[in-house]
Amino acid sequence: MRTKLGATLGIFLCATATWANAPTDSQRPHLRQATAAIQPVQRPAPATETAAPEAAILASAAVPAPRKAASRQEPAEAAGPDIRPQPRDGLFARWEIPADSLVEVSRQTTRIHFGAEGRPTPRPEHPLAGIELASAMLLVPLTPDSPHPEARPAGFAKLFKRKDRYSAAGAVCEVNAIKGVAIPTVGRPSSGCGIENPVRITEMSGVRLSTPITVDCTTARALNTWVADALKPAVGRKGGGVEKVTVAASYACRTRNNIPGGKLSEHARGHAVDVSGFELENGSKVPLLGNWNSREWGKTMKKLHKAACGPFGTVLGPNADRYHQDHFHFDTARYRSGSYCK
């Protein structure tokens, strides 16, 4: 028992001596030495009369001075060497917002105009608000070089009136330019001499006929085309223009050229009309006889003869035979080889 107690005591004494003589580079932790108090970084005070006493008091105390929220008007150097994150400026900063001030509320370009109560003020009134349109127009003086159109002269619209713009009153054959009336069946169409749906025409495209003609609608439309597209443009404004078409014949139950025993003429079917000339607005008469080769009207007559080939199936003139020296024969008979014009 005594031997064990003595051995234990010896081991304890040896461990105590070893711990007391431990080297300074031992891995065991040491007590921290007292360190000097960290001095706060002082920001430069604003150059005002009241800033100096406040800075002196803060410097004497080891307590950092409270930092004011930077404003948008302060330069970037006002932050000094302090690189710590600064509180964000914005709508929730404790600023004293004066009335009618512009405050940027975000990093975008959005700006809100705050009133005395912190609410957006209404937009300013437009300078022309409350002024009537007539009064507002008087604010813009009209100069001689004004782009506003001037009043058109009287009769200006007549210059652009369409040639084919005719009233439907008195029109037949579904063409407004053809004036006349529909009449009952003429003759006996089944026998080859007569018209089943005849019309009596008195005017075409504004040009009167010297005597009404009795034809079918196919022939009436062909003659109207010739008057509008050939006769009126060819004569033009000579003598005031065309006033009347001189008609030699239309429907007649007869043979060709009135030869006994000959074939029935297209006149007997209401498919033909003979034109011997025309009259002008000034009263002048221009007959085909004597003007086919005249210096004044020769070219016009030949144009009228050529222009009829197409609307009509057969066109005969002074060069055809001795029966057509004084008139044009127009009919709507159709041939397989096309129109026959001579």
The string of pLDDT tens digits covering residues 316-332 is 999 999 999 999 999 99
State how far the Cα of 165 lies from the Cα of 205, in Å rounded to an integer.
9
| 261: confidence class by pLDDT, cuts 50, 70, 90 | confident
β partners of residue 172: 175
Angle at 187 between CA 181 and CA 191, to 5 degrees: 135
First to last CA, the chain: 168
* Mean pLDDT within 244-268: 92
Q: Token pair 């029966």 is at which residue?
A: 323
Q: Token pair 């400026």 is at which residue?
A: 89
Strands (E), the chain: 101-104, 111-114, 171-172, 175-182, 186-188, 193-195, 199-204, 207-215, 242-249, 272-280, 285-287, 314-316, 328-331, 340-341
| pLDDT value, residue 58 | 45
Among 116, 51, 41, smallest CA distance to 79 is for 41
| pLDDT at 303 > cutoff 60 | yes
Q: Token pair 């604003």 is at which residue?
A: 46
| pLDDT value, residue 106 | 47
| pLDDT value, residue 248 | 95
- Under DSSP, is residue 103 helix (H, G, I), strand (E, B) or coil? strand
| pLDDT value, residue 69 | 47
| pLDDT value, residue 109 | 46
| pLDDT value, residue 122 | 74
196 contacts 185 by C-beta, under 8 angstroms: yes
Q: Kindly report the average pLDDT of the chain as a whole number.
A: 76
| 163: confidence class by pLDDT, cuts 50, 70, 90 | low
| Among the ranges given (135-149, 209-223, 268-282), the one the predictor scored with the smallest mean pLDDT | 135-149
| pLDDT value, residue 158 | 61
Is the whole-model pTM more than 0.85?
no
State how far the Cα of 219 lies from the Cα of 340, in Å rounded to an integer.
16
* Mean pLDDT within 93-114: 52
Among 234, 228, 242, smallest CA distance to 282 is for 242
| pLDDT value, residue 326 | 95
**Which of the two residues, 208 and 41, has the higher pLDDT score?**
208
| pLDDT at 3 > cutoff 50 | yes
| pLDDT value, residue 28 | 58
**Which of the two residues, 29 and 207, has the higher pLDDT score?**
207
| 339: confidence class by pLDDT, cuts 50, 70, 90 | confident
Among 259, 260, 254, 251, smallest CA distance to 219 is for 251
| pLDDT value, residue 129 | 74
**Which of the two residues, 13 and 277, has the higher pLDDT score?**
277
| pLDDT value, residue 262 | 87
| pLDDT at 190 > cutoff 60 | yes
Q: Quick one: what percent of the chain has pLDDT higher than 90?
A: 45
| 57: confidence class by pLDDT, cuts 50, 70, 90 | very low
| 117: confidence class by pLDDT, cuts 50, 70, 90 | low
| pLDDT value, residue 48 | 47
